[in-house]
């Protein structure tokens, strides 16, 4: 074979290079249609996520036309269907240039640049945790949760640009952290007092429950009896230390009002009869205060 030939010689075998057939117009059209559908779908998804279909909340950083700003208020109309969120028809925006504008998000296009992180919602969970820890007498955990609460509120006010409030919460966060360290140190040095035996501890607990139940029944009986015999109930502000004296003088305890009262047939309160301050009078016949 000559040097200028179109065949290659490999181990004595001649092979020819066969060109690939051109792509048919039908296949080219199908591939173009698939690319167009994919791009359209991606663009539509972006519009759904960033344009007026999305719901706005206070603190969102949006762009309306060429102006950028934060949402400072929203409003909507309630829906007639149960379980359906209200229709958002009013949004108030404060732009970076100092101006503000109110518009209907259904009629005007906008773009969400940054969503509100909602630090206040996260802070409320820390505050609930602190309340639970306080009821369980876990003061170290309580102060630690409150420190996290104040740290989260610092981020919340920094997002809204309130530096004064952010500085206040930052100061309180440091105080709560110091209180948490002291509480944990104090709890580590205190040795808990264990009961002598499980049997004795159980009996003491049962006696406490029995006495509490008896006192509650006595309170309910006295309250029901006073409701029957008394038309007017005159309430007095009796301190806790004088409760035995009030019971001895004939007053009765109202667990609903958390006050001591005297059942009477007259609407005139005996203010000179008792040494405590008079609060108010309740009429059982009228079902309201006098």
Q: Tens digit of pLDDT for each residue in 56-89?
A: 777 788 888 888 888 887 776 655 555 445 566 7
Question: Does the pLDDT of residue 12 top 80, yes or no?
Answer: no
CA dist 168 and 165 (Å) reads 5
C-alpha 214/C-alpha 185 separation (Å) is 40
The better pLDDT of the pair 255, 118 is held by 255
Question: Distance (Å, rounded) from C-alpha 75 to C-alpha 50?
Answer: 19
Of residues 125 and 209, more confidence is placed in: 125
Handedness of CA 272, 275, 281, 282 (dihedral sign): negative
User: What average pLDDT does range 257-280 have in this prediction?
Assistant: 84
What does pTM read for this prediction? Answer: 0.41
Say which residue, 260 or 221, is predicted with more confidence. Answer: 260
Confidence of residue 236 (pLDDT cuts 50, 70, 90): very high
Nearby residues of 167 by Cβ (< 8 Å), 6 or more positions away: none
- Rounded to whole angstroms, how far apart are CA atoms 288 and 268? 16
**pLDDT over 70 (residue 123):** yes
Q: How confident is the model at residue 237 (pLDDT cuts 50, 70, 90)?
A: very high
What's the pLDDT at 171? 92
**Average per-residue pLDDT for the chain:** 75
Q: Is the pLDDT of residue 53 over 50?
A: no
> Quick one: average pLDDT of 94-102?
86
The share of the chain scoring above pLDDT 90, in percent, equals: 5
Instruction: Choose between 26 and 179: higher pLDDT.
Output: 179
Sign of CA dihedral 268, 273, 277, 283: negative
Q: What is the largest CA-CA distance in the chain?
A: 137
Q: Band the pLDDT of 51: cuts 50, 70, 90.
A: very low
Pairwise CA distance, residues 158 & 136, whole Å: 33
With beta carbons less than 8 A apart as the criterion, state whether 156 and 122 touch.
no
Sign of CA pseudo-dihedral 68, 73, 75, 81: positive
């Amino acid at each position: 074979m000559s040097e200028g030939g179109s065949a290659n010689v490999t181990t004595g075998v001649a092979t020819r290079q066969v060109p690939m057939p051109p792509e048919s117009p039908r296949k080219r059209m199908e591939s173009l249609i698939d690319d167009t559908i994919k791009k359209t779908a991606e663009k539509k998804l972006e519009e759904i996520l960033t344009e007026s279909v999305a719901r706005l909340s206070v603190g969102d950083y949006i762009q309306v036309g060429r102006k950028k700003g934060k949402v400072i208020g929203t409003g909507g109309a309630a829906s007639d269907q149960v379980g359906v969120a209200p229709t958002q028809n009013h949004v108030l925006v404060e732009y970076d240039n100092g101006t503000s504008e109110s518009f209907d998000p259904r009629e005007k296009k906008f773009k969400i640049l940054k969503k509100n992180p909602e630090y206040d919602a996260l802070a409320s969970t820390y505050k609930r945790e602190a309340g639970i820890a306080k009821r369980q007498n876990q003061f170290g955990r309580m102060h630690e949760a409150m420190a996290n609460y104040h740290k989260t509120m610092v981020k919340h006010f920094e997002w809204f640009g309130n530096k004064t409030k952010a500085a206040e919460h930052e100061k309180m966060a440091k105080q709560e952290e110091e209180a948490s360290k002291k509480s944990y140190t104090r709890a580590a040095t205190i040795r808990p007092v264990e009961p002598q035996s499980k049997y004795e501890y159980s009996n003491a607990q049962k006696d406490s429950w029995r006495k509490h139940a008896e006192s509650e029944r006595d309170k309910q009986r006295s309250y029901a009896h006073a409701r029957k015999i008394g038309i007017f109930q005159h309430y007095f502000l009796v301190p806790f230390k004088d409760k035995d004296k009030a019971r001895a003088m004939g007053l009765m305890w109202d667990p609903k009002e958390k006050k001591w009262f005297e059942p009477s047939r007259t609407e005139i309160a005996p203010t000179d009869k008792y040494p405590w301050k008079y609060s108010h009078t309740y009429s059982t016949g009228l079902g309201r205060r006098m």
